[in-house]
Amino acid sequence: AGVSKKKAGLMRTLLQSQLEIYERQVQNGQLSPSTYNGYAKIINGDRMKRWHELHASEVTPSMLRDWISEMDCTSKAIRNTLTPLHSVFEDALNDELIDFNPLDRIALTKLIRQTARASDYVVQPFTQAERQALLQACRSDEWPTIQWWLNTGLRPGELQAQEWTHVDLAKRIGKVVQNQVAGVIKTPKTAAGIRDIDLNEDALAALRAQQLISKGSPRIWLNPRSMKPWETDAQIRKTMWLPLMERAGIPYRNPYQLRHTFAS
């Protein structure tokens, strides 16, 4: 029995059990696939291998403190990394494999503040000249999407999920009522995300041009290569955005900068 308890308390085993819990939560609709993918990457990543061969009872607060201090990432990334670990220790505590949760004995907020590097994400809106360069570099089947994005400031997932029933050309209104994350349609990111957008002439022109491209499809914005709805942010970035940035000769920024450009 002692051997099986030792094996049961092995960190590698506990981490895999936690991943299986997350899998069940996805199936039950309690966890989004994109959040699951993030946790899976953390649990299966090199950083977590530090604990694999240790029994949960062998992990001390000072070991965790040193490990966290060596992380060269943002505070959000550090907290995300610790989330599955915290759950593992809580379950080990409930199963009497350990006497206390070692993470509870660390002044985490202070440690993270001292350790984390500032987020390297910079808001860099496109200048008027860059916007013109982008639009001019668009192929005819890409132009409506970029023109619409620049004039509505949608999040990438909101753009992917938008349907023809969400726009009223006569009233010049575009509704944002759903968001797509990792191929799954959800409500927008925040309650304030459900909103009406007043459409200017440029946005209306983009819609009229897109009507000819995506006729017959409930979704407005399609992948020009397949003429099917976009599935993920990464798909937009790789198949349309990256080549477009290169053709336009603009230093690379991610597509979310189109939203920042609209806001600014």
pTM recorded for the entire structure: 0.61
| pLDDT per residue as tens digits for the range 119-170 | 666 788 999 999 999 999 999 999 999 999 999 999 999 999 999 999 999 9
Residue 70, pLDDT score: 86
**Residue 7 pLDDT class (50, 70, 90 cuts):** low
State mean pLDDT over 200-220: 94
Q: Is the pLDDT of residue 199 over 70?
A: yes
| pLDDT per residue as tens digits for the range 70-85 | 887 888 889 999 999 9
Quick one: 32 exposed, middle or buried, by C-beta within 10 A (0-12, 13-18, 19+)?
middle
Q: Is the pLDDT of residue 190 over 70?
A: no
**Residue 4 pLDDT class (50, 70, 90 cuts):** low
How far, in Å, CA of 30 to CA of 28, rounded? 6
Residue 11, pLDDT score: 96
H/E stretch holding 179 reads strand 179-181
156: closest CA among 227, 31, 258, 32?
Answer: 258
Residue 226, pLDDT score: 92
Residue 101: HSE in the Cβ half-sphere, 13 Å Cα cutoff: 18
Residue 189, pLDDT score: 64
- Residue 160 CA, chain-centre distance (Å), reads 14
State mean pLDDT over 212-221: 92
Higher pLDDT, 37 or 187: 37
Point out which residues pair with 223 in neighbouring strands.
228
How far, in Å, CA of 231 to CA of 223, rounded? 9
| pLDDT per residue as tens digits for the range 14-61 | 999 999 999 999 999 888 888 899 999 999 999 999 999 999 999 999
- Average pLDDT score over the chain: 89
Residue 2, pLDDT score: 45
Residue 120, pLDDT score: 63
How far, in Å, CA of 74 to CA of 79, rounded? 9
**Residue 3 pLDDT class (50, 70, 90 cuts):** very low
**H helices present in the chain, as ranges:** 2-8, 11-27, 33-44, 61-69, 75-94, 108-115, 128-137, 143-152, 156-161, 201-213, 233-236, 242-248, 257-263
| pLDDT per residue as tens digits for the range 52-70 | 999 999 999 999 999 998 8
**Residue 183 pLDDT class (50, 70, 90 cuts):** confident
How many other CB atoms are there within 10 angstroms of residue 65's CB atom? 17
Quick one: 16 exposed, middle or buried, by C-beta within 10 A (0-12, 13-18, 19+)?
middle
Q: Is the pLDDT of residue 89 over 70?
A: yes
